[in-house]
Structure 1
Amino acid sequence: MDDTDDDRGRFAWHTAEQRAAQGDSRQVADLAVELTGRIEAAAEQKREHERQLAHLVRVLAITPGQDSLTQLLRLFTRDQAPGVGLAPRFVASLLAEHREAADLVGPLSEHDAKGRLDELCICLFHELILRDVDVDAFPAMADWQRVTHGHPLTWLPPYRSGLETRVVLPSRSINGSGHPVGTTLPTEGRVDPPTPRTEERSALVDIATLDLHEAIISAPEAGGWGHSEAWVFGTDEKVEPDRVPALLPTLPMGCVEGLGTTGRFEIARRPADEIWSLLFATASVGNSGAHGAFGRLWAWKSLAALSGTPADASAEEVEQHVRQTTWFHFESDAEWFCNDAFTDYGVAALSPGRRRIAVLAATDTV
């Protein structure tokens, strides 16, 4: 077809039904096929432009000096909407990794009446906290939280919590990246139940609501993991921590289904800060990670939901509740898991009242 784009538009909108009714359906279909190809080509071109933009942004963020920072911020303060490669959480992560806080505060605190730097600032605020920067030493940073009132990140503590002692962050250059290695079950704290295990199945029933399920899996979902599931079980009687390792393989959960009495089920008790670290790595890196600031948020949210903290609790209340919870990390050879190295895990939480067991299972393989 030699028609112009205008001709195609007029044909598609005004005469397609008439042509088809006259028996000229082939021309209608030919045009539809051609337009499908054009759409696919345009989409691929858009993806390529986004990849190129992301690389240019990476170069500006990582290259030392005030001029490269000025030019990077210029991309954000244009009137046009920022592109995909200008995702504030991604840029904030790069800036926090490669630049000193003192060099960032001035340029990012300049007056921006349209608020085009607000998202970048609040993400950077939490990226710097994760890197142990004393934000109180930079009073201008306080405004980075205030200008984004109601933003989900404002729920987080404005300091590095005692739970956040094991922060593992990526190491990136202009042309490459080094990401944290995945999780492995530690040798210390192991409480594997003896085999053969009981064949008796637990009568407990999953009571997780949709909202609770989504809250528990929020860390692996944010990290773009292949698959994750959650279960919550209430008990009539208190469950002592030493009963949990033998109880878990008997629960009606897909992540232990088909395991049998002798299949591999390995489990360890772990302190709360190690579970937070596991969830943070899951959320912040993953296949398409949320980066540090939002990875921090979703690690906290998963931890809160697993521990049974009320949904409206503050970060301080969550921390207190989490520290009173008993935490377990497990792996198994059940078919639910893919068991690629470092990419599968299960977390179980026995709540402070010991009448609630919550479980998160995640695999990085689709």
Structure 2
Amino acid sequence: MEETEENLAPLVWGQAEQCAARGDTAFVRRLGSQLADRRAAALEQARDHQRQLAHVIRVLALTPGRDSLTQLLRLLEDKPHAGTHPFIASLLAEHQQVPDLVATVFDRSEWRELDELRACLFHELLLRGADTETRGPLRDWTLERPGWHPLAWLPTHRRDFEAGATFPRRSVRGSAGGASSRLPTRGRMDPPTPRSVPPSALRDVATVDVYETIVAAPQAGDWGACGAWVFQLDQAIAPDQVPALLPTLPMACVDGLGPTDRFEIAACPMEEIWCLLFETASMGGVYGSRVHGAFGRLWAWRSMAGLSGAAADASAPEVERQARHSTWFHFEAGAEWFHNEIGSDYGIAALSPDRCRIAVLAATDTD
């Protein structure tokens, strides 16, 4: 069977069944073998085309000036599946001048099919400090943007706790940057060792929905593993009681932790927690994917909402109020669940405003 590629289809649809019916199953097997080889070659060719296309888009996005911007937008409008808009928006925000971006990308009369790019670029620019409130295309976008889009839930101006967001550094052929989860040295509240507090009788009450909300950031960033737990306390506790309580809770991330094993914790301002969640989602894990700035902002807010105990249908201002009145902690532990590699493990705990609820997020990202 030495058929050219264009003649395989007639063999598949015209002869395979007849050959099998008369007992020539070896012919059918050889036909399948040829198709499998051609499929593998086609997939590799498609991957090669994808790598080349990604490089071309990167060159256009990273070449400053309105001419390269216009050519990129023309490519994206003519070929809607040429590239992923969250990634392209991130590149543009890093390398292009804001006036050029505002004058070109946000011209909806010229580029009618690029609302997804505009939605992502708006938040990329906002997080980098662009003025979104003065009258102009950026403010107009907040009135024109599709209400159904997930990013429409987010505030249309940068909140003060978002001002410390960090971003990757990219060139045409390389990149640098990643989430840093190091425990801060200030605000330390490490409980004394040996820890003698008995295991807590509290039980995890996190529902599936609450769990998924809390782990939104590490799941979006494709970290290696993550977990979430929620505990409803019998009575209000003071923030300085949290460090001693956490190692006693029934959580996989502290399971097996001995009385002298490492457990380090620091009280943190809300902005440090938000930045950690943002970097987790936007920059992704070491070997995983990432969602970049716009959606990184969204998933950081979602995780913060779940940790602080905001209602499932809470608006962004409601989430912010709940989070601002919560008490936040960053911790690390020598338990087996963590791999204890620098920058690859962290735990976050939030004590609710009424001090009767503790929510915990643990994340690890190792090979």
Quickly name the TM-score band, shorter chain normalised.
over 0.9
Query: What does residue 263 of structure 1 align with?
Result: 261
TM-align CA RMSD: 1.8
The 8 Å contact of residues 75 and 82 in structure 1, kept in 2 or not, is answered as no
The one-letter code of the counterpart of 2:355 is: R
The structure-2 alpha-carbon separation of the partners of 1:349 and 1:111, relative to structure 1 and needing over 3 Å to count, comes to closer
Indicate yes or no: 2:132 matched with 1:132. Answer: no
Shift of 1:181: 5.2
Partners of 1:284 and 1:66 lie apart in 2 by: 27
The structure-2 alpha-carbon separation of the partners of 1:251 and 1:195, relative to structure 1 and needing over 3 Å to count, comes to same
The 8 Å contact of residues 101 and 133 in structure 1, kept in 2 or not, is answered as yes
Partners of 1:133 and 1:114 lie apart in 2 by: 22
Partners of 1:332 and 1:26 lie apart in 2 by: 60
The one-letter code of the counterpart of 1:34 is: Q
The 8 Å contact of residues 153 and 316 in structure 2, kept in 1 or not, is answered as yes
Query: What does residue 240 of structure 2 align with?
Result: 242
The 8 Å contact of residues 170 and 180 in structure 1, kept in 2 or not, is answered as yes
Indicate yes or no: 2:84 matched with 1:82. Answer: no
State how 1:206-221 maps to structure 2 within 5 Å: 206-221=204-219
Query: What does residue 350 of structure 2 align with?
Result: 349
Partners of 1:42 and 1:343 lie apart in 2 by: 37
The 8 Å contact of residues 64 and 97 in structure 2, kept in 1 or not, is answered as no
The structure-2 alpha-carbon separation of the partners of 1:25 and 1:118, relative to structure 1 and needing over 3 Å to count, comes to same
Partners of 1:87 and 1:12 lie apart in 2 by: 36
The structure-2 alpha-carbon separation of the partners of 1:348 and 1:14, relative to structure 1 and needing over 3 Å to count, comes to farther
The structure-2 alpha-carbon separation of the partners of 1:26 and 1:198, relative to structure 1 and needing over 3 Å to count, comes to farther
The one-letter code of the counterpart of 1:219 is: A
The 8 Å contact of residues 183 and 265 in structure 2, kept in 1 or not, is answered as yes
Query: What does residue 329 of structure 2 align with?
Result: 328
**Number of aligned residue pairs:** 363
Shift of 1:28: 1.9
Question: What secondary structure, in the 3-state scheme, does the structure 2 residue paired with 1:132 have?
Answer: coil
Indicate yes or no: 2:312 matched with 1:315. Answer: no
Shift of 1:220: 0.8
Query: What does residue 233 of structure 1 align with?
Result: 231
The one-letter code of the counterpart of 1:334 is: A
Question: What secondary structure, in the 3-state scheme, does the structure 2 residue paired with 1:195 have?
Answer: coil
Q: Which deviates more from structure 2 when the two are superposed, residues 35-44 or residues 186-195?
A: 35-44
Partners of 1:92 and 1:179 lie apart in 2 by: 17
Partners of 1:101 and 1:200 lie apart in 2 by: 57
Shift of 1:112: 4.5
State how 1:48-59 maps to structure 2 within 5 Å: 48-59=48-59
The structure-2 alpha-carbon separation of the partners of 1:180 and 1:365, relative to structure 1 and needing over 3 Å to count, comes to closer
The 8 Å contact of residues 105 and 138 in structure 1, kept in 2 or not, is answered as no
Q: Which deviates more from structure 2 when the two are superposed, residues 143-152 or residues 339-348?
A: 143-152
The 8 Å contact of residues 202 and 252 in structure 1, kept in 2 or not, is answered as yes
Query: What does residue 43 of structure 2 align with?
Result: 43
The 8 Å contact of residues 133 and 157 in structure 2, kept in 1 or not, is answered as no
The 8 Å contact of residues 105 and 111 in structure 2, kept in 1 or not, is answered as no
Partners of 1:155 and 1:259 lie apart in 2 by: 40
Query: CA-to-partner distance for each residue in 1:297-318, whole Å, 9 max, x for gaps?
Result: 1101100111000121111111
Shift of 1:229: 1.1
The one-letter code of the counterpart of 2:199 is: R
Shift of 1:152: 0.9
The one-letter code of the counterpart of 2:88 is: V
Normalization by structure 1: what TM-score? 0.94
The one-letter code of the counterpart of 1:122 is: A
Query: What does residue 88 of structure 2 align with?
Result: 91
Query: What does residue 144 of structure 1 align with?
Result: 141
The structure-2 alpha-carbon separation of the partners of 1:208 and 1:360, relative to structure 1 and needing over 3 Å to count, comes to same
The one-letter code of the counterpart of 1:330 is: F
The 8 Å contact of residues 119 and 148 in structure 1, kept in 2 or not, is answered as no
Pick one of 185, 188, 209 that aligns with 2:186.
Answer: 188
Normalization by structure 2: what TM-score? 0.93
Shift of 1:162: 1.7
Q: Which deviates more from structure 2 when the two are superposed, residues 230-239 or residues 133-142?
A: 133-142
Shift of 1:113: 7.9
Shift of 1:7: 4.0
Identity, in percent, stands at 55
Q: Which deviates more from structure 2 when the two are superposed, residues 196-205 or residues 222-231?
A: 196-205
Shift of 1:17: 4.2
Question: What secondary structure, in the 3-state scheme, does the structure 2 residue paired with 1:136 have?
Answer: coil
The structure-2 alpha-carbon separation of the partners of 1:235 and 1:56, relative to structure 1 and needing over 3 Å to count, comes to same
The 8 Å contact of residues 163 and 319 in structure 1, kept in 2 or not, is answered as no
The 8 Å contact of residues 214 and 306 in structure 2, kept in 1 or not, is answered as yes
The one-letter code of the counterpart of 2:48 is: E
Shift of 1:122: 1.2
The one-letter code of the counterpart of 1:106 is: A
Shift of 1:182: 1.4
State how 1:169-180 maps to structure 2 within 5 Å: 169-180=167-178
Question: What secondary structure, in the 3-state scheme, does the structure 2 residue paired with 1:231 have?
Answer: strand
The structure-2 alpha-carbon separation of the partners of 1:138 and 1:225, relative to structure 1 and needing over 3 Å to count, comes to farther
Question: What secondary structure, in the 3-state scheme, does the structure 1 residue paired with 2:39 have?
Answer: helix
